[in-house]
């Protein structure tokens, strides 16, 4: 996890060159309330329109959302839509070099969306061929821009820029200059990608290019068959590795340079709203991570997290480093804590001991605090947040009703032990809650031996449990209390 977060923090330090087919994505949102009297078709009433960079432009937008420096080479028409694409590239902070041949329109994809569902897509496009006399200029520009980049991404949508002439030229320049080149492919001719560092088709594209049908991804025969076919394609194309995206089944790396040669990363998408541009998000994050020097497995995990977030958004979407970091932390918490639901977080000492034992094997730092927490207030929340930052897992021991009555006297607690425990367990920064009947939680500390003990406002000489914890090497920390907040004051106000 730490290395993934460190890679995300490094993204603003790299420069990525994107070469590919630029488009304008236009989303028209509206509603359908009746059928046309002229023909049996729904009447679409427009409410709102949005424009976004599409194709390779969406890769650029995602890289900029991640904080990377980006240059882009692409094609647009000599029209107002081409002007809009250039303007949007500059507005997002990219440095565009655009070829604008006469007589060809900018590729535009218009989508009609009602109540979150796509009704129709209307495309305007014509292939825009690169003339032979432009090749020397393109080669000179490519050589200069590749030299300035940390990594190169080729986003091929089959619209005319990445041809059988330009693609090998670009890959050849990258290899000569020692720059990694990642390809998102399109079309039946993968020969033009020969020599690339990595090619990233989806499963359907892969099956078409190898001329074979694969068993379903969940079956036992899928992995060996995919590996066999992919390794043969890698050898034929003289590429280093292949990543096949598997939709809801994640993505698979096949490489003769890894042991074993097959690695699958599961998907992180929780709910799919729109797959528009998810492949662009994946390419952007994958390329950016590899550009930072991240290992291929880490780059795949980041790319999968990014695309999972993208499909949960409506429209051609971008995701930020902060969103990916938050998603990764949520996933780690879920993977390492089957007790995440509030009811499961409330444990007996025996249950907690077993969980802590497993967490220690994973190298987790166990934190501990205790209290009555009768009326949870802002002081408590600040305390829990500060304490959780000192550990990987936070255990909160809560005095039972009988224990509170002995300590606080008649009329306490205001809330019963079940309510207080469930309230604390519902906080995302509290990982376990343990009720105890004794006056102190010493027996819990003796059995769990937490790595960090934290209290608010106590000194060590007033805190016997801390004195014991120091004997086995635990860190003991006293945090200042937040002024102006106390349970006693709250009770007085309520009365």
Q: Residues 121, 28: contact at Cβ < 8 Å? A: no
Cβ atoms of 190 and 233 within 8 Å: the answer is: yes
Residue showing tokens 């995919």: 226
Closest CA to 56 of 21, 97, 29, 26: 21
* CA–CA distance, 153 with 286 (Å, rounded to integer): 10
Q: Is 221 a catalytic residue?
A: no
Q: What is the dihedral of CA 418, 421, 427, 430, to 10 degrees?
A: -160
Asked whether 37 and 173 are in contact (CB, 8 A), the reply is no
Catalytic annotation, pick one of 21, 81, 150, 280? 280
CB atoms within 10 A of CB 135: 14
Which residues does the annotation mark as catalytic?
Answer: 280
């Amino acid at each position: 996890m730490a290395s993934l977060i460190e890679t995300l923090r490094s993204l603003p330090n790299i420069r990525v060159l994107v070469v590919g087919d630029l488009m304008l994505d236009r989303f028209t949102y509206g509603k359908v309330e009746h059928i046309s009297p002229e023909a049996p078709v729904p009447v679409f009433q427009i409410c709102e329109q949005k424009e976004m960079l599409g194709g390779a432009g969406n890769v650029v937008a995602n890289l900029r959302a991640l904080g990377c420096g980006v240059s882009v080479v692409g094609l647009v028409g000599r029209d107002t839509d081409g002007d809009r694409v250039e303007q949007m590239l500059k507005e997002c902070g990219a440095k565009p070099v655009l070829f604008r041949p006469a007589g060809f329109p900018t590729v535009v994809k218009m989508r009609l969306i009602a109540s979150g569902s796509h009704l129709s897509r209307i495309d305007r496009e014509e292939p825009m061929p690169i003339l032979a006399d432009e090749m020397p200029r393109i080669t000179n520009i490519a050589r200069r821009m590749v030299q300035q980049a940390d990594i190169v991404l080729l986003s091929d949508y089959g619209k005319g820029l990445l041809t059988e002439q330009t693609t090998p030229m670009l890959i050849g320049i990258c290899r000569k200059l020692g720059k990694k080149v990642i390809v998102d492919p399109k079309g039946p001719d993968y020969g033009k990608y020969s020599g690339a560092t990595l090619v990233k088709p989806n499963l359907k594209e892969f099956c078409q290019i190898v001329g074979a049908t694969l068993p379903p991804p969940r079956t036992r025969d899928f992995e060996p068959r995919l590996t066999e076919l992919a390794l043969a394609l890698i050898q034929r194309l003289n590429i280093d590795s292949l990543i096949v995206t598997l939709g809801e089944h994640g993505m698979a790396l096949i490489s003769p340079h890894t042991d074993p040669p097959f690695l699958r990363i599961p998907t992180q998408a929780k709910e799919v709203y729109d797959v528009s541009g998810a492949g662009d998000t994946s390419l952007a994050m994958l390329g950016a991570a590899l550009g930072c020097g991240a290992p291929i497995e880490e780059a795949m995990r980041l790319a999968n997290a990014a695309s999972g977030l993208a499909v949960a958004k409506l429209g051609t979407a971008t995701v930020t480093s902060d969103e990916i970091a938050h998603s990764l932390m949520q996933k780690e918490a879920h993977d390492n804590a089957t007790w995440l639901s509030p009811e499961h977080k409330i444990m007996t000492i025996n249950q907690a001991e077993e969980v802590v034992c497993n967490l220690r094997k994973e190298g987790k730092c166990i934190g501990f605090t205790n209290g009555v927490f009768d009326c949870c207030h802002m002081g408590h929340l600040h305390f829990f947040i500060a304490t959780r930052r000192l550990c990987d897992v936070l255990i909160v021991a809560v005095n039972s009703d009988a224990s509170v009555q002995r300590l606080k006297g008649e009329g306490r607690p205001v809330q019963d032990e079940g309510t207080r425990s469930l309230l604390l367990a519902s906080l995302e920064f509290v990982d376990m809650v343990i009720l105890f009947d004794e006056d102190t939680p010493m027996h819990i500390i003796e059995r769990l031996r937490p790595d960090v003990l934290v209290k608010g406002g106590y000194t060590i000489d007033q805190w016997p449990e801390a004195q014991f914890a120091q004997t086995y090497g635990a860190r003991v920390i006293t945090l200042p209390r937040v002024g102006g907040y106390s349970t006693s004051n709250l009770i007085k106000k309520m009365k």
